[in-house]
Structure formats: structure tokens, C-alpha cells
Amino acid sequence: MKLRNIITCCLMITFTGASAQQVSIHGKFRSLQREVKVEDISEFQYLRPQDKNPSVKTDSLGNFSIAFNLPRPGYYRIGRNVLYLTPGDKLKVDISHLNPAQSVFKGRGSSKNIYLRDTPFPKGGSYLESGKSISADPGTQLKLILEKAVLRKLELNRLKGVSSQFRVLEAARIKADVINSITSVPYYAPRKLKLSADSAKSYIRTFAALAQPTLEAYSRDLKDPRFLQLVVFRDIVGQVAKKQGGESQSRMIDWIRADSLVQVMRETEDKTKIAAFSDRLDRIKYPPYRLAAIQVKNSLLHYGNGDPAIDFSAIELSGRTVRLSDLKGKVIFIDLWATWCGPCLQEMPAFEKLKAQYVGNSGVAFVSLSIDESTDGWKKNVASRKADGLQWHIARSMLKDYQVVNIPRTIIIGRDFKVASFQAPVPSSKENLELIDELLGGGPKGNSFSIDGRLNRVDPKGILFLSYIGKDHRQVLDSVRLEDGSFHFDGTVDETTQANLLLSLAGHYTVKKNADQTDIFIGNKALVIKGADSIATAEILGDDENLANQQFKQKFGTLVKAQRSLLYLLTPDKRADTAFISDIRRKNQNLVFRQRALQRDFVLKNTGLMASLAVLRSYAGPIIDVDEVAPLYNALSAGVKQSIAGKQFGDAIKILNNIAVGQQAPDFKLPDTLGRLRGLDSFRGKYVLLDFWASWCAPCRAENPNIISQYKKYKDRNFEVLGISLDVANSKNAWLKAVKDDGLEWTNLSDL
């Protein structure tokens, strides 16, 4: 072979290899936005900083051309169009931003992207089409879902010129869409069919029973971690991972851990706290996920609270261009929203109410900033609400420095044009008043409260104690002597807060079993309390919060009394009677079921009350079942979730969401019966059964003989029991007595 031919051959191989790593897309982008952004929607979609996606400006007619290196095939998005791009693709396109069905694809790599035009929308419940495909009959509903899946599979089978990997991924998408559709029915069906509460429960119960075999089978099939590339698979990965094992489950759980951690970091404003996430990042074992999360951490450290605000341009309703810097010297409250965002629209009345409180104050500016893809929809929404003030519109891609991943989102800029709150509370949160007032120089206002009351037949030696968390999160214990039965309290709290009233005849504050006490909520309105000789049975007047709380406690208290009565039946001579114990257990389980149903019902009917958060915390207990509790927490109003207590509980859910089968057990330390601190870590290398119980819990005590039997059988084979007492305060003696009476030889811990 001649030298020139050898060189030519080498050049052809070199250039062929280079072009095979590139993707080129050119054509027209039909959108009001003048930028084409090729967004990575693989499992790294939100694990990486938001400025890593290739983009290019269009001309005035929407024409564009973009080429970029692509090391491997993957899923991307332009507007609402899902694309599957492969190294070497050369696409000529006519893309509709908002309507993928109208988009046109030609050239190398077109067939797979033509197929993807009909990809169902995960957030719309996939095959339910945002509630358009709902049947009044549960059986027909399941049939509709499965029929749509069959049709989609036939389309995939007819597809030519696509890789085997693409076929595998899309076949998995079909099954994931079925699971997503089934799990979305309980949300859409009651709303679209306008079912009553009882009818909705019956429908959901019937549908769940019919769909369960399909859910089980499809979940077991989706065991390849490559399916994390699919948006819909990531939406259901929590339930799918439970059905897997080994490396597949490990990789899925690692992604869940990384995704949750990135979300927590994005919601953390303090840079020192963000920097402290390094140890938790090290727990992410899969290197690509860990590296992506580290990149997010570094980007958040690069820009956040205290940094000069990065300027941007937006447009007003008139079409005039405005800049954030036009508002320099003012406190700037930015409410990010879109017409398609339900939670955003729910916050609109609160935003207008907050804005109204500063009418005439030239030191603060409220900016309603839409990131809608269509300005027409934005303008119509503003007009329908007759909203006034600063109504701006911007493309989300222009806000990449502000890491806008989720909305609603609030950003507050100080008078010095520095970021005061990168992740501020939503408009309905009462914290905003304090933040704005502090930035204006007026100092925090807080919520003042007052309580006036009278107990007609109380001992004049009695002292009434009020315990609550006051301003700046400080524990406050106030008291008044009831010489003539009347009392008055006042003070300031950060927000509507749960407080405790305790009547003591001992002359000092003491919490005993069956103490005369009641929980109330302060910081909303002035309260009036009327009663005879007990604070526990007194009537609390003044607001809906305490009225609803009282009504709930009366119903719940009846069930608790019935449960306690079972304990009195559990005499020593009855503990060996298995039939009796079985009957006690059955009755207790029925009471527990009714208690939990009552709690769930209260939370869902009173989503805007802080009392619902308190009930939910009690419902969750010390060991939170995230799958059960998270949906109830998410149903709470934005104002409740953004409260101090709401955020703390939300953070606990996020952290526990990372704990699952196969992961390292979190350590804890509690005092044992001798007061020595013992931790779970001290039992490393053993099989440990954690037994949560209490001296007052009849079913727990009834189970102790069974645990003792198993303990004696396996204690010499590296098996250990660790008892965790959930006894209430000042019940240490009752706990120690129960340990002795029941013969619990293993280590017992409690925070008493």
C-alpha cells in the first residue's frame, strides 16, 4: 500500500471516530424563547449543576444549528420534546416547543425520536393523561391502562433502525408508565369522578386489589439500574427498589440517596452547613453519582446567601425589558411561579396579601416572576386574577445562577443588592414578615398572644404553668397562681405554636402520669379559657385552630381510654392464656386502626392548621414510616410545611427517606437501666432485634414471653435483643418494674 493511501486511511479512521462522538441538530424551534437548550434528562438531570447543558441562540425566525460532543447515548429534552441522542446523530428538525406531536424529525437518528413524540407525561399520571383517561369502574380503569401499554408496545415492536439498548429502555418505560398510572389513580379518580369520601375509599380499595398483581410483577421485572435514565422510572424507583436485591438494589438506593441529598443541599441556605455535607456525600458509593453531587455542592458554595445578586433581564406585560438591578436600594421579594404549577397558584393569594401589608412602603418591591414557556398563558393568568404591581416574565435558562430546579421558589434580595435568602419561605409563611422587616431595619415583629381564663372551683393553692417555644426558639415556662381562679398570660412567639397548660397543686412544676394538662395553640388570636376545676376539660375559645384540636382530642381520648382499659384486664394469671392474649391483641389492633384512621382524617381535612402537623407527628411516632407519612406531610399547606416545626419534620422525613433495607443502620445512644449510655454500634457484628415497647402497652407486654423464648433459643448464636422503651416522662420506675416483672434479661434502653 502506498504511503499516501495509508495516510488517507488513517485520516478517514481518525475523522470518522471524531464525528461519531458528535451530535448535530439544525432546523427550526417554534417557541417564543430565543434559545434552544438541549437538557440532559438522564438520572443526572438534577444531580448536576444546572449550567451543564449545551444551548444556542436562535435567529428571529427560530432557526438554529448546534453540535456538541456526546460520549454515549442518552435521553435529552428540547422544550417538551423527549429525545434519545446517539453519537453520530445528524438531525434536521422542526420542533414545536409546547406540542411534541407537531414536531418533525429527519436524518440520522430520526426514527427513535419520531417514536418518542408520543411519550406519556409522568407528572400527568402517564397513561391517565392528567385525568382524561379515568373510568368510573375500577376494573375498566385497569383495563384501559393495560390496553394503552399494549398499543405502545406494538408501536415499539414495529420500530426499525433503532438499537437493542433503546428497545430495552423503552420496553421498561412502558412498564414503568403502567406502575405510575396505577399509583396515580387514587389521586385522579376521586377528583375527576367527583366522588364522596366514602365512595373514593371504596373505589381506591377495589382498584388497589385488582392492580396489585400487576404492580408486583412489573416491579420485579424492572431490576436493571440502567432504567434510572427514564424520568418515569425515577418517579417510582422507591417502590421498585424494595422488590430488588444485590447490586441492582444498591445502585438504585445510591441514586435515591444522592437525589435526596442534593435536594436537601439546594434547600440549605447557610454555606457553612452546605460545606458540612462532605461526610454524607462520602456515603454515596457509586462514583458518578457522588461526583455529580459534589459538583452541586461546589456550585452552591460558589453562590448563595451574602453574595452580590447576579443581575438578569426580564420583560413586563407591556413587553418592555426590565432588569433586577433597576430595583437596587430596595428589599426585593421575588416569587417564582408558572401557570402550570398548582402549588404556585395556591400561593398567589398569600403573595397578594403579603404585598398588601407593605402598600405605600417604597423600601420594598414585590416581583411576581413567571417562568412559563408561553407568554400568552402568563398574560391571561395575570389578567384573570387582575394582579397588579411588578409582573415579570423570564426564561428559566436565564436563571441558572439561581439554581431554579423546583417551584414555587422565593428569593429575597437586601437593600445592599446582596442575596438575603437564596431559598426563602413561600409567600404564605409568616417568617417572611420578619425577614422583610429585619431587612427594612424595623426588626422582627413576631406573633403576640394573650390568654385569659378562669377555673371556677379550683384550689387557690393551684399554680397554672404555660410551657412553649418563644422568640428565637427559646423554651419559656410561665406561671400564675390561681388565687381567685382567674389567670392571664401574654407573650410573643415566632409563629403559631403548640403550647402546654399544666395545673399543679404541688406548688411547683411537675409532669406526672394523669397530670391535669392540655395542649393549645398560641400566636394566632387572643384565647379565652373557661372551666370548672380542671384545665384538661376546660373550654378553649378564640380560633378555629383550638376548636378543631379540642374536637379531635375528645374523639381520640375516647379510643385511648378504651385501649388503657385492656391493660387492666391483663392480670398475671391471664398472661398464660393464649386465647385471652389473642383476643386482647385483636381488640387493641382494632383500636389502633381507629386511632390512626382518625389522625389521618384530621390531617387531610385540616391541612392549613398547625394542629394537623402536631397530630401528624404523633401519628408518625419515633420511627417514621416515610412511605406512609410523607404523603400526609405533602398534603399539608405550604404555610404549615414552611413553619419552623414543619421544616424540622420535613427534614426528618428527607433524612429517613435515605434509610432502607440493605443500608447501614443509623446509630443512636440512650441510657440503660443503670443510666449508662449504650448505642446500637456496641452490638456491631451481632444479629440485633430492636424491640420498641412501653410499660403501659398491653400488646407489647403480651409479646414479651414470645421474645424471651426466641432470645433463649438463639442468644448463644450471636443473636441479641435490644429493648427501647417509649414510656412517657417520669415513668422510669414503671419501666424498671416492667423490665423486672417480665424477666427481660437483655439490654433495655430509654431516654427517661
Query: What residue segments make up the domains of the chain, in order of their start?
Result: 9-118, 122-241, 246-302, 313-440, 447-542, 547-656, 669-749
Convert the pLDDT of each residue in 66-90 to its tens digit. 999 988 899 999 988 999 999 999 9
Give the C-alpha separation, 82 to 551, whole Å.
Answer: 51
Question: Strand, coil or helix: what is 402?
Answer: helix
Cis peptide before 287 (omega within 30 of 0): no
The residue-averaged pLDDT of 190-199 equals 89
Percent of the chain whose pLDDT exceeds 70:
91
User: What DSSP line would sit under 185-222, residue for residue?
Assistant: HHHHHHHHTT--HHHHHHHHHHHHHHHHHHHHHHHHH-
Which candidate, 124, 115, 73, places its Cα nearest to that of 235?
124
Confidence of residue 3 (pLDDT cuts 50, 70, 90): very low
Confidence of residue 660 (pLDDT cuts 50, 70, 90): low
Confidence of residue 19 (pLDDT cuts 50, 70, 90): very low
pLDDT at residue 246, as a whole number: 66
The residue-averaged pLDDT of 693-702 equals 79
Report the length, in residues, of the chain: 752
CB 540 within 8 A of CB 550: yes
Give the C-alpha separation, 283 to 260, whole Å.
Answer: 13
The residue-averaged pLDDT of 27-45 equals 86
pLDDT at residue 340, as a whole number: 79
The residue-averaged pLDDT of 649-676 equals 76
Residue with C-alpha cell 422582627?
A: 444
The residue-averaged pLDDT of 152-177 equals 94
What's the mean per-residue pLDDT of the chain?
Answer: 84
Lowest mean pLDDT across 39-48, 127-136, 320-329:
39-48
Number of other CB atoms surrounding residue 512 within 10 Å: 14
Q: What is the pTM of this model?
A: 0.49
pLDDT at 444 over 50: no
pLDDT at residue 16, as a whole number: 37
pLDDT at residue 647, as a whole number: 83
**Would you give the distance in Å from CA 373 to the centre of its chain?**
26
The residue-averaged pLDDT of 262-269 equals 77
pLDDT at residue 206, as a whole number: 95
Instruction: Please name the CATH architecture into which domain 669-749 falls.
Output: 3-Layer(aba) Sandwich (3.40)
Confidence of residue 747 (pLDDT cuts 50, 70, 90): very high
pLDDT at residue 20, as a whole number: 46
CB 530 within 8 A of CB 538: yes
pLDDT at residue 473, as a whole number: 66
Give the C-alpha separation, 49 to 203, whole Å.
Answer: 43
pLDDT at 663 over 50: yes
669-749 shares the fold of 447-542: no
Confidence of residue 507 (pLDDT cuts 50, 70, 90): low
Reading the block at residue 222, the C-alpha cell is 424492572
According to the per-residue pLDDT averaged within each range, which of 271-280, 407-416, 444-453 is highest?
A: 407-416
CB 704 within 8 A of CB 742: yes
CB 281 within 8 A of CB 293: yes
| Phi, psi dihedral angles at 395 (to 5 degrees) | -75, 135
pLDDT at residue 12, as a whole number: 37
pLDDT at residue 10, as a whole number: 38
Topology annotation, domain 313-440:
Glutaredoxin (3.40.30)
| Phi, psi dihedral angles at 733 (to 5 degrees) | -65, -40
Give the C-alpha separation, 75 to 233, whole Å.
Answer: 13
Convert the pLDDT of each residue in 290-327 to its tens digit. 888 888 888 777 777 788 888 999 999 988 899 998 88
Higher pLDDT, 267 or 563: 563
Long-range CB contacts for residues 69-72, cutoff 8 Å, separation at least 24: 69/21, 69/22, 70/21, 70/22, 70/23, 71/21
pLDDT at residue 577, as a whole number: 79
pLDDT at residue 243, as a whole number: 67
Confidence of residue 2 (pLDDT cuts 50, 70, 90): very low
pLDDT at residue 607, as a whole number: 86
According to the per-residue pLDDT averaged within each range, which of 54-68, 163-177, 726-740 is highest?
A: 163-177
pLDDT at 149 over 90: yes
pLDDT at residue 400, as a whole number: 79
pLDDT at 5 over 50: no
User: What DSSP line would sit under 133-177, residue for residue?
Assistant: S--SSHHHHHHHHHHHHHHHHHHHHH--S--HHHHHHHHHHHHHH
Residue with C-alpha cell 450471636?
A: 718
Number of other CB atoms surrounding residue 676 within 10 Å: 10
pLDDT at residue 85, as a whole number: 94
pLDDT at residue 175, as a whole number: 94
pLDDT at residue 171, as a whole number: 95
pLDDT at residue 28, as a whole number: 94
pLDDT at 63 over 90: yes
- Helix 544-569 and helix 578-605, axial crossing angle in degrees, nearest 10: 180
Confidence of residue 661 (pLDDT cuts 50, 70, 90): low
Domain 447-542 = CATH 2.60.40.1120 = yes
The residue-averaged pLDDT of 385-390 equals 86
pLDDT at 191 over 80: yes
Percent of the chain whose pLDDT exceeds 90:
26
pLDDT at 11 over 80: no
Convert the pLDDT of each residue in 416-440 to its tens digit. 888 888 888 888 888 888 888 888 8
CB 584 within 8 A of CB 702: yes
Cβ burial of 488 (10 Å; 0-12, 13-18, 19+) is exposed
Lowest mean pLDDT across 110-114, 151-155, 233-237, 650-654:
650-654
Lowest mean pLDDT across 11-25, 130-144, 582-596:
11-25
Confidence of residue 139 (pLDDT cuts 50, 70, 90): very high
pLDDT at 728 over 70: no
Higher pLDDT, 21 or 25: 25
Convert the pLDDT of each residue in 317-327 to its tens digit. 988 899 998 88
pLDDT at 512 over 80: no
Lowest mean pLDDT across 4-18, 93-107, 123-137:
4-18
Convert the pLDDT of each residue in 355-374 to its tens digit. 888 876 778 899 999 988 77
pLDDT at residue 659, as a whole number: 64
Q: What are the distances in angstroms from CA 624 to CA 243, 347, 526, 642, 715? A: 21, 28, 34, 20, 29
pLDDT at 702 over 60: yes
